[in-house]
C-alpha cells in the first residue's frame, strides 16, 4: 500500500496501478433494500436450495461529505473521474492531517452519520507517518502476521484485480434446530476467506450475537460482521468496513452498542459502532498509526487497545462512541488486551511486553491517570512456535489480546500460553493487578501437545470459558478446545468445541492469511449461553471460513450429568458381571469402589450446581 490514500480511489475499484480505495461506510456490496452493508440472509428453510448470488456494486454516493480530521466539506454529486480541485485540496490536507484516512459515506443509510471526535493526548500520535516511516517501523518492531501479510499483498502486481475463488461454495450449510449441540459454519459463501474471527453476545438481547472476521471480496480486503438475532439459527453477513487490514475485535456494552475494532487503510487502528445489533455501522473513529487492535466494553464505555509497533496505546469512549480519547504508554509490547470493570471505574491494558514479561497498565479513574506497568508473569516471550503446517505464518502470540477477562467482583483473569512448554496457563488477581495467583495448567491431560492462541471470557459471577488451538501430530490435524471452570470449582474441564479434528495445509501459491493471530469467545454477564468463534478449513485448503459454537450453560450441565450417570452405570454393570476390576483382588476391588464413590460425589455436585 502507499503512505497516502488518494481521494480518487474513494467510490471505485482499485487496481494494481491505483492506491487502495477509502472506505465507503454506506456503500452496499449487495443490493439489500434499506440495510447498510452487504447482507445475505440465511434461512434454515430454504438455505439448502438457494445459492447466494452476488449483485452489482452500488458505487455512487449521491450526497457525500468528505471529512479529514476536523475538516469538513460538502460535495454534492461528486464526480470521481479526473483530478478535480477538490481531490487535490483534500490530498494536500491529508499530508499533515490528524485523521489517517479519507471517508466517503452515504448519509441515507448511516444511523450514526456524524464523524466521531478523537482527542489525542499526544499530538505526535495524530500525525500520519510517511511510507518510509512505516517501512522503518516494520523493520524494527514485532508485527502481527495478518496485518503484515495484507500490507505485503497490497504491493503485489495485480492486487485489486478480481480473482476466481479457490473453490465454488453453495449457500450456508443447514443449521440444526438446536445449534448449541454442534459447531456451525456462519461465514458468507461468496467471500474468498474469513480469517481472524472475534465474537460477542448482546447482554440486552442474548439471541443477538455478532461475529466478525477479515475477508476478501475478490478485489479488496474488507471486514465482515456475521449477525444472528435468533440465537444462531440464521445468520446475516454485513460488510462492516472496507479497505481493512486485520481481523475483528468485537464487544457489546450494557446499552446494546456493538463496537468493532480493526485497522483500515494500512496500519491505522479504527473502531466503528453499531446501534442495531450489527446490521449497520457508524463512521470509523481513527486512532493514528498502530497494529493489533482489541476492544472491551461496559455501560456506555468502550476501551480499545493496540500498539504503535510496538509502543502500547489505547483509546476509550465514555459516551457510546461519540467522543474518544487516545492515550499513549511508554512500554513496548504486542497482543494488547483491554478490560473495563463492572462499576465502570477501572480500565486495564494487559499485554505481552517485548522484554519477555506479561504486563499490565491500570487506570482507576476512567482513563484520566494510569499506573504501571506491573509484571503479571515474568519470563514469557510474546510468541511461541507454531506446530504443524500453520508454521508458515510465523509465530503464535502467547497473549493475543482476546485472552483476558474480568468478573463482577473486580477479579482479573488471564489465560496465556507458556512460551516454553506451549501449554495454556491461568492466573488471576483479586487486588486490581497488584498481585497474581500461581499459574496453573488448565489442560494437564494434553501437557505434551502444543497449544496456541488462547482466548478467555467469564460471567459476572466468575464462571470461566477459555479456548486454545491444539495440534495432534499423530493425526496431522488441529482442534479447537474449550476450557471451562465454574466459579465454585477448583478444576478445569476441557471439551472439544469444533466438530472433530480438521486439517490445515501449508502456504498456497497465492496470498492467504490462514488461521490468523487469534480466535475469540464470550459469555453473558449472567449465567446463560456462551459462544466461541474461530477460523477453520474443512479440507486443509482455502478458503478458511468462520465457525461458531454456542453452548447453553444448562445444556452443558445436563450433558455432564448424563455422561457421569452413564459412566457410573457402565462401571456398576462391569462389576456385577465381574469383568472389572481385574484381577479381582481385595486391593483392586477397594480401588474400584473408591473410583465409583468419587464419581458419585461428582454427580451429586453437578446435580446441585444445575439446581442452583
Alpha helices in 104-198 (DSSP H): 131-140, 145-154
Q: Which of 514, 522, 517 is nearest to 549 (CA)?
A: 522
Name the CA radius of gyration of the chain, rounded. 25
What tens digit of pLDDT does each residue of 203-216 get?
A: 999 999 999 999 88
Alpha helices in 4-158 (DSSP H): 85-94, 131-140, 145-154
Cell of 195: 480469517
Taking the C-alpha atoms of residue 60 and residue 57, their distance in angstroms, rounded to an integer, is: 9
Taking the C-alpha atoms of residue 26 and residue 113, their distance in angstroms, rounded to an integer, is: 10
pTM to 2 decimal places: 0.75
User: Any idea of the CA torsion for 286, 290, 294, 300, to the nearest 10 degrees?
Assistant: -30
**What size, in residues, is the chain?**
612
Answer whether the bond into residue 543 is a cis peptide, omega within 30°: yes
DSSP, res 205 = -
Cell of 254: 450494557
User: Any idea of the CA torsion for 521, 279, 218, 3, to the nearest 10 degrees?
Assistant: -80
Q: What does the pLDDT read at residue 13?
A: 30
Q: What are phi and psi of 575, to 5 degrees?
A: -70, -40
Cell of 65: 461529505
Q: What does the pLDDT read at residue 86?
A: 27
Taking the C-alpha atoms of residue 190 and residue 70, their distance in angstroms, rounded to an integer, is: 37
What Å distances lie between residue 611 and 206, 320, 530, 606, 608, CA to CA? 22, 38, 19, 9, 5
CA angle at 582 for the pair 578 and 585, rounded to the nearest 5°: 95
Low-confidence ranges of the chain (pLDDT < 70): 1-113, 158-181, 506-514, 540-542, 553-556, 612
Q: What are phi and psi of 525, to 5 degrees?
A: -55, -50
Q: What does the pLDDT read at residue 170?
A: 43
Taking the C-alpha atoms of residue 364 and residue 346, their distance in angstroms, rounded to an integer, is: 4
334 within 8 A of 319, measured Cβ to Cβ? no
Amino acid at each position: 500500500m502507499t503512505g497516502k490514500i488518494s481521494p480518487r480511489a474513494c467510490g471505485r475499484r482499485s487496481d494494481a496501478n491505483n492506491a487502495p480505495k477509502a472506505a465507503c461506510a454506506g456503500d452496499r456490496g449487495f443490493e439489500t433494500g434499506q440495510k447498510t452493508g452487504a447482507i445475505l440472509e440465511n434461512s434454515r428453510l430454504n438455505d439448502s436450495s438457494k445459492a447466494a448470488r452476488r449483485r452489482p456494486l452500488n458505487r455512487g454516493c449521491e450526497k457525500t461529505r468528505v471529512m479529514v480530521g476536523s475538516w469538513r466539506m460538502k460535495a454534492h454529486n461528486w464526480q470521481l473521474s479526473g483530478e478535480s480541485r477538490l481531490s487535490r485540496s483534500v490530498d494536500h490536507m491529508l499530508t499533515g492531517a490528524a485523521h489517517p484516512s479519507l471517508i466517503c459515506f452515504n448519509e441515507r443509510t448511516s444511523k450514526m452519520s456524524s464523524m466521531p471526535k478523537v482527542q489525542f493526548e499526544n499530538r505526535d500520535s495524530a500525525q500520519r507517518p510517511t511510507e518510509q516511516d512505516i517501512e522503518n517501523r516494520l523493520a524494527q518492531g514485532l508485527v502481527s502476521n495478518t496485518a503484515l501479510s495484507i500490507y505485503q499483498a497490497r504491493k503485489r502486481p495485480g492486487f485489486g484485480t478480481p480473482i476466481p475463488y479457490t473453490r465454488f461454495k453453495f449457500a450456508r450449510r443447514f443449521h440444526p434446530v438446536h445449534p448449541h449441540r454442534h459447531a456451525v459454519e456462519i461465514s458468507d459463501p461468496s467471500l474468498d476467506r474469513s480469517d481472524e474471527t472475534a465474537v460477542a453476545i448482546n447482554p440486552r438481547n442474548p439471541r443477538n450475537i455478532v461475529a466478525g472476521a477479515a475477508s476478501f471480496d475478490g478485489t479488496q480486503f474488507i471486514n465482515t460482521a456475521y449477525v444472528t438475532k435468533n440465537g444462531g439459527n440464521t445468520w446475516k453477513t454485513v460488510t462492516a468496513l472496507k479497505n481493512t487490514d486485520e481481523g475483528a475485535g468485537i464487544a457489546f456494552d450494557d446499552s446494546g452498542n456493538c463496537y468493532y475494532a480493526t485497522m483500515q487503510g494500512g496500519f491505522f487502528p479504527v473502531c466503528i459502532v453499531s446501534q442495531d445489533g450489527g446490521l449497520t455501522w457508524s463512521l470509523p473513529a481513527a486512532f493514528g498509526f498502530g497494529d493489533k487492535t482489541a476492544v472491551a466494553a461496559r455501560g456506555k464505555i468502550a476501551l480499545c487497545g493496540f500498539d504503535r509497533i510496538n509502543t502500547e496505546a489505547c483509546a476509550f469512549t465514555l459516551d457510546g462512541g461519540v467522543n474518544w480519547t487516545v492515550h499513549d504508554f511508554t512500554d513496548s509490547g504486542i497482543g494488547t488486551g483491554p478490560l473495563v470493570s463492572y462499576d465502570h471505574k477501572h480500565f486495564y491494558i494487559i499485554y505481552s511486553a517485548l522484554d519477555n514479561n506479561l504486563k499490565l497498565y491500570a487506570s482507576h479513574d476512567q482513563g484520566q491517570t494510569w499506573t504501571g506497568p506491573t509484571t503479571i508473569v515474568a519470563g514469557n516471550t510474546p510468541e511461541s512456535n507454531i506446530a504443524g503446517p500453520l508454521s508458515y505464518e510465523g509465530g503464535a502470540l502467547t497473549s493475543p489480546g482476546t485472552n483476558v477477562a474480568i468478573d463482577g467482583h473486580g477479579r482479573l483473569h488471564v489465560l496465556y500460553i507458556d512460551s516454553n512448554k506451549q501449554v495454556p496457563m491461568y492466573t488471576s488477581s483479586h487486588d486490581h493487578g497488584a498481585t497474581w495467583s500461581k499459574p496453573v495448567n488448565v489442560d494437564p491431560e494434553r501437557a505434551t501437545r502444543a497449544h496456541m492462541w488462547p482466548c478467555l471470557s467469564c460471567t459476572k459471577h466468575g464462571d470461566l470459558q477459555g479456548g486454545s488451538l491444539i495440534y495432534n501430530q499423530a493425526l496431522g490435524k488441529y482442534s479447537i478446545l474449550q476450557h471451562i471452570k465454574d466459579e465454585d470449582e477448583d478444576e478445569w474441564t476441557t471439551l472439544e468445541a469444533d466438530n472433530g479434528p480438521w486439517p490445515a495445509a501449508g502456504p498456497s501459491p497465492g496470498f492467504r492469511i490462514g488461521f490468523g493471530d487469534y480466535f475469540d469467545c464470550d459469555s453473558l454477564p449472567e449465567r446463560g449461553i456462551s459462544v466461541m468463534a474461530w477460523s477453520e478449513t474443512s479440507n486443509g485448503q482455502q478458503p478458511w471460513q468462520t465457525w461458531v459454537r454456542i453452548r447453553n450453560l444448562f445444556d452443558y450441565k445436563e450433558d455432564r450429568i448424563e455422561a457421569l450417570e452413564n459412566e457410573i452405570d457402565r462401571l456398576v454393570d462391569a462389576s456385577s458381571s465381574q469383568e472389572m476390576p481385574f484381577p479381582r483382588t481385595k486391593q483392586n476391588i477397594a480401588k474400584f469402589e473408591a473410583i465409583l464413590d468419587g464419581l458419585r460425589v461428582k454427580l451429586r455436585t453437578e446435580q446441585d450446581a444445575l439446581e442452583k
